[in-house]
Amino acid sequence: MVGDDEAPSSSLVESFYRHRLPVRITHWINALCILFLLGSGLNIFNAHPRLYWGQYGADADGSLFSIEAVDRDGGAHGVTQVGPWHFDTTGLLGWSKYQGDYVARGWPHWLTIPSFQDLADARHWHFLFAWLLVFNGLAYLGWSLFSRHLQKDIAPTRNDIYAIPRSLIDHLKLKHPAGEAAKRYNPLQRVAYLCVIVLISLMVATGLTMSPGFDAVCPWLIDLFGGRQSARTIHFISASLIVLFVVIHLAEVVLAGPINEVRSMLTGRYVLPKEPRR
């Protein structure tokens, strides 16, 4: 880290100011929020580990997805149901170890916040970070619109859209843009960041739809999502897609050069990868 932005090396390595301060701050606050929201969300899910579609849904109604402990062959098993399929997920989902003993719980303790099962506490964490996420997200969106970061850096241009297949192939070949081309977000990056903005907005909207108080303010939102239980299912699917984004995002950071990438999100300065010699 030391020395890269000092004068002597700058003649050898070309670095430029890639991420402005508001992007860096809101990025890290957002990352912390997502971590706590996912962990506490899984703990909340464990209180009723079943998902439905429609206005209502409880034990007597058929579930789309469930994680349950089932007594079978004289022993307990964790069974995860996805539509018509059932999977034995003993040890991971439905029936897993907590402090040395097997317990019936949807998601295992090492994935949830708090690690012990407590709906009240999980809700407290969830709402604390949900508010922080909303304020941080509004600050980011407000700044991004005002500074034209959203319009210039994130929104894909017509050329970006045409270049998506090419960009996809490059990503799969682990080829990353170099030189001048690395100064802007590449087409897939733009699409991915735009998707994550949409997904987080969808998380907030479906989250609010689960609130009976908010539903009285905004009843049309329930109908937009096809019911409260549908909204809960969409909330879960969006969260899963955010996890998918995070996995790919982190993999790309590692593949593109973790030190350079992480540093650029801390200090703003990004060292341009050299063009390969032809």
Partner 1 sequence: MTAARNITRRAAILAGFAGAGALIWNADNLTLNPSFSRVFHAVEDWTRMSQRMLLQPGQLAKEYSVADISPVFKPNGTFNPGGAEYDAHIAQDFVNWRLKIGGLVRHPMSLSIAELRGLPSRTQITRHDCVEGWSAIGMWTGVQLGLLLKAAGLASGARYAVFHCADNLDGEPIKGGEQGPGQYYESIDLVDAFHPQTLIAYNLNGKPLGVPNGAPLRLRVERQLGYKQAKYLQRIEITDSFRNVAGGYGGYWEDRGYEWYAGI
> Which spans of this chain sit near partner 1 (rule: CB under 8 A)?
5, 28, 32, 35-36, 39, 44-45, 47-48, 50, 52, 55-61, 113-116, 118-121, 123-125, 127-128, 131, 210-217, 219, 222, 228-229, 232, 266-267
What Cα–Cα distance (Å) separates residue 266 from each residue in 18, 21, 28, 108, 269?
11, 9, 9, 33, 8
Cβ–Cβ under 8 Å, residues 201 and 140: no
Residues in the chain: 278
Q: How far is the CB of 259 from partner 1 (least distance, A)?
A: 14
Q: From the CB of 78, what's the least distance to partner 1, in Å? A: 19
Q: Which is nearer to partner 1, 10 or 157 (CB)?
A: 10
Residue with tokens 């969409």: 234
Token representation of residue 133 = 């996420």
Distance of CA 233 to the CA centre of its chain: 16
Q: CB under 8 Å to 265, separation ≥6 — which residues? A: 19, 24, 27, 28
CB of 126 to partner 1, least distance (A): 10
Between residues 7 and 172, which has the closer beta carbon with respect to partner 1?
A: 7
Closest approach of partner 1 to the CB of residue 79, in Å: 19
The answer to whether 229 and 56 are in contact (CB under 8 A) is yes
At its nearest, how many Å lie between partner 1 and the CB of residue 125? 7
Q: How far is CA 200 from CA 142, 161, 166, 214, 242, in A?
A: 15, 22, 27, 18, 8
Whose Cβ is closer to partner 1: residue 30's or residue 147's?
30
Instruction: Report the C-alpha gap between 180 and 126 in whole angstroms.
Output: 42
Rounded to a whole number of angstroms, the minimum distance from the CB of residue 107 to partner 1 is: 14
- Is the Cβ of residue 90 or residue 136 nearer to partner 1 in the bound state? 136
Rg of the Cα atoms in the chain: 22
Nearer to partner 1, 4 or 252 (CB): 4
